[in-house]
Amino acid sequence: MPDSLSPTHPLALAPVFAPASTKDGFVEQFLHNLNFDQGVALSSSSATDQYLAVAHTVRDYLMARWLEDLRRQRETQSKGVCYLSAEYLLGRQLDNNLLASDLTEIAREALAECGISLDDIRAEEVEPGLGNGGLGRLAACFIDSLATLGVPSIGYGIRYEYGIFRQTFVDGQQVEQPDAWLTVGSPWEFAHPENAQTISFGGHTETYDDEGVTRSRWVPGWNVQAVPYNYMVPGYQNGRVNTLRLWSAVATDAFDLRIFNSGDYEEAVRAQTFAETISKVLYPEDSTPQGKELRLQQQYFFVAASIHDFLDNMLSEGYDLSNLPNRVIFQLNDTHPVIAVPEFMRVLVDEKHMEWDAAWAITQQCFAYTCHTLLPEALEVWPVELLGRLLPRHLEIIYRINEEFLTAVRAQYGDDEMLIRNMSIIAEHPVRSVRMAYLATVAGAKVNGVAELHSQLLREKVLPDFDAFFPGKFTNVTNGVTPRRFLRLSNPELSRLITAAIGDGWVTDLERLRELEPFAEDADFRRAFAEVKAANKRVLSTVLRERDGFAVSDGHMLDVMVKRLHEYKRQLLKVLHIVSTYEGVVSGRVAVSDVVPRTVIFGAKAAPGYAMAKRIIHLINAVGEVVNNDARLEGRLQVLFPPNYNVTLAERVIPAADLSEQISLAGKEASGTGNMKFALNGALTIGTDDGANVEIRQLVGDDNFFLFGMSEPEVDALETAGYRPSEFYQADPQLRAAIDLIASGAFSHGDRSVFEPVVSNLLYEDRFMVLADFASYVAEQGRVDAAYADQDAWTRSAILNVARTGFFSSDRSIGDYIDRIWHTPPAL
């Protein structure tokens, strides 16, 4: 009997009937789970039953490793990372977990024996969309890398009952539907109500005398329970399984009881519903925080639960808290979890009775902050009135942190009131508010941006005074993506080709893709590579036909722009290019035979309250409707906009793409991570010198990247000089023709009012300088067309993009976090 089957072994594992690591074992375990978990016989099982039983089989297989890792992390007490993130955009789990356990082929054969196709089963999984876009997906890539690298770590977040909305189009306009991802239950989660934390809100603070010491305490007004749900995060074929712990809100008994005793049944039910709204729904806002009270409740709810969970469960009995910096680093994924800072101080000072200065010294070593934006309107601020009402003690603590910080600033710079006002954690206008990014910067051991350019602009433009005041605090960690999901899983054909050429070491050591470089000169390899791309396009074509009824034309360049809809990302620039091509043909300026056949694919969700973004979605659909159906184009230009772009669709679109659109105004996109996924899958980029595009271009080389547009300093200069978009409109007949066509109602059945707000915004405001970059963009697209005509040269460039973008593995990003910020020990 193996050790771990003994009841006295610390893991005391239940015997498994047969290990799922053989085909027969898998079949046995699968049928067992089908019978005993789903309660059905194979003959009467639905695809959902089968999916759940397969998932349980994989889960059972990983369980021993998971329990072992949980025990190891608790026992070794080595320094670990708590990743605090309000979002995790995980994507489907089955495929990933099969790959991590190296069970894919076994599962495929075992299921085939039962008359089931693995491909059909995987389509049953509803992806957990617990994030908006880049920031949430980055967190998911990071926990994959943390597990693969064996870093002692845990991800903490919120188990939203409803993830990012499901997008549908009605008459070309976005309509949001709730995403009830938990309807059939998630086979990957484990609820632990016995480990619930009580999280308090409201009330007031008071001081009291504790044997001659005056202390503060918080007397809360109400509370909720935070119930943890654990998710397995398996490392890639390394026997490690980390944990993602997401919190769900339920009403506390005490809360219910008080009301129940008062005899108000309806009120008791209402109270319960109220408590549970906290984890009900992910805010679909991306970049523009709304300052909603419920959002602050969500933020405090999950970070307070996480901190208490860590202190209660992860530290050994009688742990010396002054040692905490050697035990943990809390990484703050943007400002959303920053309320953790005053909470941590409150626990140390009010509950553990630590001196303020000692507690602050510890806090400043236990937190680090990652900023993910440059847009001023995306920097979270919480009105003091709201924060003080919901978290009165935390507000007092923030005031004290600020007071001491400003005293130190004064000591260094004297009474420069302007500077003090600029650096204060408290803003006075338009309403007195807490600047969460400033609080994070003052508290964090390190502050990092997410690409070289972003980190530079963060230091120089967003937080310059802080950079001067805290030398050495600012650093960069360029983002990355997991090669498991975004190459190995999503592009199996290319993976096979790469592995055949250089072996499979690249899956965990992506820089090894460099070894592909010589193959760019090999005609046979180029042919095989081009064949993979063509096959991926056929797969996408099938997916889009089945999913959306779209027909993708053969032989077209696939030109893809997928990302959240935001003005700074400039989907409008792409629309103007399409409209201009169309206008060129219908006006006779361009011969249709000169149009290089392209299919443009958009994918984008707009925040439900972002009216301009929704109008742009409408415009894209309207332009597609006209262009796709105008015979004069002879089918050479197609615009497809599949609704509900998500991780699952990304995995199909990216491997098929020829051209990746990364066209934000320089200085606005912090990094981008889609840009990395496309390059890694052999798409060429047309892009501005923005975010991580800068590093992509440096790595792949100018010859293999289509650069256009103003640089960040040029944008800055134009802004200073005074940007007048109408001057660009007046000066460029091609631009004028495109805008006039939209304004004429050509895409709105003659109704000029429909897109009038878009047109006038472009002409009179154009915050993101679409018109200023139009000519340069169109010219560069001309070079794209010319380059695409030489398919063999294009393929050569595509291979070089793959070979030279190994740097963008999230394993490398995590390595950088370890070296520059966390200083955690090597894997156990």
Which C-beta is closer to ligand 26W: that of 132 or that of 223? Answer: 132
Nearest distance from C-beta of residue 452 to ligand 26W, angstroms: 13
Q: What is the DSSP letter of 730?
A: H
Asked whether the beta carbons of 323 and 308 are under 8 A apart, the reply is: no
Tally of CA atoms within 13 A in the half-sphere of 362 that contains its CB: 22
Q: Please identify, using beta-carbon distances, which residue of 186 and 673 lies nearer to ligand 26W.
A: 673
Q: Interface with ligand 26W by CB under 6 A: which residues?
A: 132-135, 138, 283, 285-287, 289, 334, 372-373, 378, 450, 479, 669-673, 691
Residue nearer to ligand 26W on the CB measure, 174 or 373: 373
138/423 with CB nearer ligand 26W: 138
- The count of residues in the chain is 828
Catalytic residue from among 243, 370, 482, 673: 673
Smallest distance, ligand 26W to C-beta of residue 350, A: 29
Q: Which is nearer to ligand 26W, 402 or 664 (CB)?
A: 664
**What's the closest the beta carbon of residue 291 comes to ligand 26W, in angstroms?**
9
What does the alpha-carbon distance between residue 685 and residue 676 come to, in Å, rounded to a whole number?
A: 10
Strand 173-177 with 166-170, pairing: antiparallel
Of 441 and 599, nearer to ligand 26W (C-beta) is 441
Query: Which of 394, 564, 566, 636 is flagged as catalytic?
Result: 564
Confirm whether 577 is a catalytic residue.
no
* Annotation marks residue 288 as catalytic: no
Q: Which residue is nearest to ligand 26W (CB)?
A: 134
Specify whether 668 is catalytic.
no
Give all strands of the β-sheet with 426-427 in edge-to-edge order.
381-383, 433-435, 426-427
Closest separation in Å from C-beta 691 to ligand 26W: 5
Shortest approach of ligand 26W to residue 261 CB, angstroms?
39
- For ligand 26W, give the closer residue by CB, 633 or 696: 696
What stretches of 310-349 show up as alpha helix (H) in DSSP? 340-346
125 vs 280, 375, 406, CA distance in Å? 21, 36, 52
Question: What is residue 461's DSSP assignment?
Answer: I
Active-site residue (options: 159, 245, 327, 372): 372
CB of 568 to ligand 26W, least distance (A): 9
Burial bucket for residue 12 (CB in 10 Å: 0-12, 13-18, 19+) = exposed
Whether residue 10 is preceded by a cis peptide bond, meaning omega within 30 degrees of 0, is no
Alpha-carbon span 560 to 660, nearest angstrom: 5
Please, what is the minimum distance in Å from the beta carbon of residue 296 to ligand 26W?
Answer: 12
* Minimum distance of ligand 26W from residue 610's CB (angstroms): 11
Q: Which is catalytic among the residues 327, 394, 526, 677?
A: 677
Min CB(44)–ligand 26W separation in Å: 44
Output the DSSP codes for 32-79.
Answer: HHHHHTS---GGG--HHHHHHHHHHHHHHHHHHHHHHHHHHHHHH---
Closer residue to ligand 26W (CB): 142 or 602: 142
Q: Which of 446, 569, 615, 812 is catalytic?
A: 569
Q: Which is nearer to ligand 26W, 311 or 458 (CB)?
A: 458
Give 579 or 653: the residue with its C-beta nearer to ligand 26W: 653
Min dist. Cβ of residue 761 to ligand 26W (A): 21
Which of 28, 87, 148 minimizes the C-alpha distance to 488? 148
Nearer to ligand 26W, 24 or 285 (CB): 285
CA distance 235 to 152: 12
Q: Which of 159, 563, 577, 668 is catalytic?
A: 563
Q: Which two tokens stand for residue 801?
A: 């993009």
**605 is annotated as an active-site residue:** no
Buried b (16+ CB within 10 A) or exposed e, 320-358: eeeebbebbbbbbbbbbbbbbbbbbbbbbbbeeebeeee
Contact assessment for residue 579 and residue 625, using Cβ atoms and an 8 Å cutoff: no
Structure tokens at 598: 């392209």
Shortest CB 608 distance to ligand 26W, Å:
12
Q: How many CB atoms lie within 10 A of CB 538?
A: 12
Calculate ∠ Cα 330-607-549, nearest 5°: 115
* Residues with Cβ within 8 Å of residue 256, at least 6 apart in sequence: 268, 271, 272
CB of 293 to ligand 26W, least distance (A): 14
Q: Are residues 65 and 58 in contact, defined by beta-carbon separation less than 8 angstroms?
A: no
Does residue 15 contact residue 4 with C-beta atoms inside 8 Å?
A: no
The residues, any chain, with a CB within 8 Å of residue 5's CB and separated by 6 or more, are: 12, 13, 15
677 labelled catalytic: yes
Q: Measure Cα distances from 256 to 65, 161, 259, 263 in Å.
A: 39, 22, 5, 11
CB-nearer residue toward ligand 26W: 97 or 167: 167
Q: How far apart are CA 476 and CA 447, in angstroms?
A: 8
How far CA 789 is from CA of 553, 598, 661, 771, in Å, comes to 17, 12, 19, 28
Catalytic annotation present for 564: yes
Nearest to 755 by CA among 615, 611, 575: 615
Side-chain half-sphere CA neighbours of 491 within 13 A: 31
Catalytic residues: 372, 563-564, 569, 673, 677
